[in-house]
Structure 1
Amino acid sequence: MKRDWDLLRKQLTDIEEKHDVLADIPSEPRWIDQTEAEYSRQYEEYHTIKGRIAGHLELLIDDGYVDGVQVLRGADGHIAFGLSSPRLTMAGHDLLDTMRSKPVWENIKSAAQSKGIELTFETIKMLGTWALKQVIGAS
């Protein structure tokens, strides 16, 4: 899985605003009136989306940005979620505050790209201060 910072930003925002952080996972396809190939394609797409969302939540959980969310992975590849009043930790709020403003967030991403810097949680925090000054100075 390739890390998607826009998805991480959306997940942080959804948790802060008490939206369903799993809402973007489509319903599991059912084999009704389609060919086996079509069902397999639909199931693979479903599994890919679910895995992508789960993987990004795990990044936020593992680094201590989110609490009250569990991602459970079975040996057979099955993914289940445990939700118990999902919330941002203090570090999660700090990260989201850095990423919240669209102009600041776009400056962070473009600065990292132009300098050839990979975005990490630490890089975002450092570039956030610089990007905020750029946005404020441009106003």
Structure 2
Amino acid sequence: MKRDWDLIRKLLTAIEEEEDFLADSPTQPKWLEQTEEAYITELKAFRTAEGRLFGHLELLLDNGYSEGFEVIRMGDGGFAFSLSAPRLTMAGHDLLDTMRSSKVWEWIKSTANTKGVELSFDAVKALGALALKNVLG
């Protein structure tokens, strides 16, 4: 899975606003009247979309940006999910504050691209601080 910063931003925002951050979860296909080949194609697309969403939620959990839910990788390549009281940690709020403004977020992505810097959690925070310095300037 390739990290998608726009998805991370969307998930952080949804968790903060206590929205259904699983609203875009894909629906597992059912083997109805299609061919086995068509079903397998649908299943692969489902697994890819599921892995993208839950993989990004794992990144938020593993790096201490959110808590109150659990992502479990299943033996069949799928995911299970448990939910208690999802919330952002202080670090999660700080990261989202760096990414919240569309203008600042686009500047961060553009600057990283121009400078040839890969976006990491540390790079996003550092570029966010630079953006703030430029705005306050």
Same fold (TM over 0.5): yes
Judge conservation of contact 1:104–1:135 (CA < 8 Å) in 2.
no
Write the deviation string for residues 55-79 of structure 1: whole angstroms up to 9, x where unpaired: 1111110010001111001222221
Partners of 1:56 and 1:33 lie apart in 2 by 33
Judge conservation of contact 1:29–1:39 (CA < 8 Å) in 2.
yes
Name the residue aligned to 1:6: 6
CA apart distance, 1:11:
0.6
Partners of 1:136 and 1:46 lie apart in 2 by 45
1:5-24 alignment runs, 5 A limit: 5-24=5-24
CA apart distance, 1:93:
0.3
Q: TM-score, normalised by structure 1?
A: 0.93
Name the residue aligned to 1:125: 125
Aligned partner of residue 19 in structure 2, secondary structure: coil
Judge conservation of contact 1:25–1:46 (CA < 8 Å) in 2.
no
Partners of 1:136 and 1:48 lie apart in 2 by 42
Judge conservation of contact 1:73–1:79 (CA < 8 Å) in 2.
yes
Runs of 4+, deviation exceeding 4 Å = none
User: Any gaps of 5 or more consecutive residues in structure 1?
Assistant: none
Overall identity of the aligned pairs, in %? 60
Letter of the 1:41 counterpart: T
Write the deviation string for residues 77-116 of structure 1: whole angstroms up to 9, x where unpaired: 2210111111000000000000000000000000001001
Partners of 2:135 and 2:44 lie apart in 1 by 42
Name the residue aligned to 1:55: 55
Aligned partner of residue 67 in structure 1, secondary structure: strand
Name the residue aligned to 1:66: 66
- Indicate whether 1:109 and 2:125 are aligned: no
Partners of 2:84 and 2:3 lie apart in 1 by 25
Partners of 2:10 and 2:92 lie apart in 1 by 12
Judge conservation of contact 2:14–2:21 (CA < 8 Å) in 1.
yes
Question: CA RMSD, aligned part only?
Answer: 1.3
Name the residue aligned to 1:35: 35
Partners of 1:84 and 1:120 lie apart in 2 by 28
Letter of the 2:58 counterpart: E
Judge conservation of contact 2:47–2:77 (CA < 8 Å) in 1.
no
CA apart distance, 1:31:
1.1
